[in-house]
Structure 1
Amino acid sequence: MSSSTGRVIAIGDVHGCVHALDAVLDAIAPTAADEIVLLGDMIDNGRESKEVLDRILKLQQQCRVVLIEGNHEEMMLRARANEADLNYWMNCGGAVTLTSYHFPGRLKDIPDAHWQLIESCVPYYETADDIFTHANYLPELPMSEQPPHELRWTLFEPQEVRPHFSGKRVTVGHTEQRNGEILDLGYAACIDTACWRYGWLTALDRTTGEIWQASKWGVMREAGEEVHREKLGELIGTRVL
């Protein structure tokens, strides 16, 4: 349970986009009283997973940081078990993560501090008013009894989601909102806005409702959406309307 008197801010799936994470954290300007809850999938797909984990280690010196285990962290941890699990992770974004350490990357290139960071992830986090987890939840079960697959893999389908019996708001990531907008049902919200796919990294202050969003290039949305769109147009070789 939270004992903080500061803000409680959730950050969606970073997926190796360190410039977006830097921009969002600079805008938030966390203090020692704040809690930052990263909702999992901090790694894979984007090119800077190593740098993202380094940034989180620095963030831990500024404020309380809660790391939720996503399905990509689960795959990374399992990759140490055998070749089949390693190959599965490699095909789901792990190859890009290893390349952020060294090319060609190997598991041995990942430093102990980063393994320890991933191992410190928790399946969910609760405060007096809120629940945070990576993917989804069963509304009738306490969080301590939730199936791991539900917490890390199940898609957040608005027509199927129901309020948690505790009455607490739930905040998740995992299910990409490719329109760049938070999917807010009132009692539950999904804030994975597909940063690595040229969307936005979203941070949501659950105490005030304030929202921050940044592109993978580190441009804040409210100040630079046109710059973001122009950059995306250059990348795909056409004008983005």
Structure 2
Amino acid sequence: MTQSSSSRVVAIGDIHGCVHALDTLVKIADLQPDDTLVCLGDLIDQGWESKEVLDLLIELSERCNLVAIRGNHEEMFLAALESERAKESWMLFGGTTTVNSYHFGGDIDAVPAEHIEFIRSTVDFYETDTHIFTHALYLPDVPPEEWPPHILRWTLIEKPYPEPHVSGKTVVVGHTEQRSGEILDLGHLICLDTACYNYGWLTALDLTSGEVWQASKWGQLKERPSEPMPIPVPKPPVSD
């Protein structure tokens, strides 16, 4: 996918059904038709407005280039459509709030086909000339198309931290909650999950300018220092 010289790439962390936060960040980012918005997965569950989040994302897909990464909660939802046992597990891990956003006390069949198809359209990763975006983590020494599902959607960032990716590109993820409310920035790895549904913030990062915006689940914008986040210069691929 080729981007124009004036277009931007904006990444946003785990939304988890927090539509007021998402709406605030989308408005302040002022996305244009040539811009790319990368949602890093876990669009649904935990928060109370999963239906409204999916409605807004579908609308955004008509206004800009929207890339929705598949998180572990989207994986659980899709499994729940196929298995009663998987549905019971999903309901325990946030699915109940998603169902209730459609019909309080209802079941998974309350989710409309349009929303199911949107979740099915989510992707494992997205790659630009400078960055790789996925939900959870990566393998440093293999290309993203070879990363297994448990790495893509379930593995937490833990010490010792993974080495830089062999491509030299910065990897941008969510999934591992930063309960401090601040971005984890290791230079070669950036985590934008700042625990919005859990009284934290939803974080958006403009990878072009380094500008950061954060909003609470009630849609209140967080005041931040005026300096943009440093955007690392990609390193060339490691050769044998």
Query: TM-score normalized by structure 1?
Result: 0.90
- Structure 1 distance, partners of 2:75, 2:159, is 25
Q: Hey, what does 1:15 align to over in structure 2?
A: 16
Other-structure match for 2:139? 138
Taking the aligned partners of 2:217 and 2:159, their CA distance within structure 1 comes to 26
Report the AA paired with residue 83 of structure 1.
E
Aligned 1:1-241 pairs, distance under 5 A: 1-5=1-5, 6-222=7-223
Question: CA-to-partner distance for each residue in 1:129-167, whole Å, 9 max, x for gaps?
Answer: 100000000100100111111010000125322100000
Q: Describe the shift of the 1:145–1:99 C-alpha distance in structure 2 as closer, same or farther (beyond 3 A).
A: same
Shift of 1:107: 1.6
- Structure 2 distance, partners of 1:4, 1:44, is 35
Letter in 1 for 2:202: L
Q: Cα deviations across residues 1-46 of structure 1 (Å, max 9, x unaligned)?
A: 4434400010000000000000000100100010000000000000
Give the distance between the partners of 2:120 and 2:2, measured in 1 at CA: 21
Q: Percent identity?
A: 56
Q: Distance in 1 between matches of 2:101 and 2:119?
A: 16
Secondary structure at 2:152 match in 1? helix
**Structure in which a larger fraction of residues adopt helix:** 1
**Residue 3 of structure 2 contacts residue 34 of structure 2 at CA under 8 Å; is this kept in 1?**
no
One-letter amino acid of the counterpart of residue 125, structure 2: Y
Q: Classify the secondary structure of the residue corresponding to 1:32.
A: coil
State the partner residue of 1:238. Answer: none
**Aligned counterparts of 2:4 and 2:130: Cα–Cα separation in 1:** 13
Query: Are residues 222 and 89 of structure 1, via their aligned partners in 2, closer, same or farther at CA, if it must alter by over 3 Å?
Result: same
- SS of residue in 1 equivalent to 2:102: coil
Please, which runs of 5 or more residues in structure 1 have no aligned partner? 224-241
Q: Is the 8 A contact 2:178 2:195 kept in 1?
A: yes
The answer to whether the 8 Å contact 1:199/1:215 transfers is: yes
Aligned to 1:228: none
Deviation, 1:208, is: 1.1
* Aligned partners of 2:16 and 2:44 also within 8 Å: yes
Deviation at 1:118, TM superposition (A): 0.1
The CA deviation string for residues 162-207 of structure 1, in whole angstroms up to 9 with x for no partner, is 1000000000000000000000000110000000011000001111
Alpha-carbon separation, structure 1, partners of 2:133 and 2:106: 32
Check conservation: 1:19, 1:218, Cα contact below 8 A.
yes
Per-residue displacement from partner, 1:82-130 (whole Å, max 9, x unpaired)? 1110001000000110000002121211111100110000000000110
In the alignment of these two chains, the number of paired residues is 223
Q: Distance in 1 between matches of 2:116 and 2:210?
A: 33
Q: Describe the SS at the equivalent of 1:100.
A: helix
- The residue type paired with residue 40 of structure 1 is G
CA distance in 2, matches of 1:2, 1:76: 32
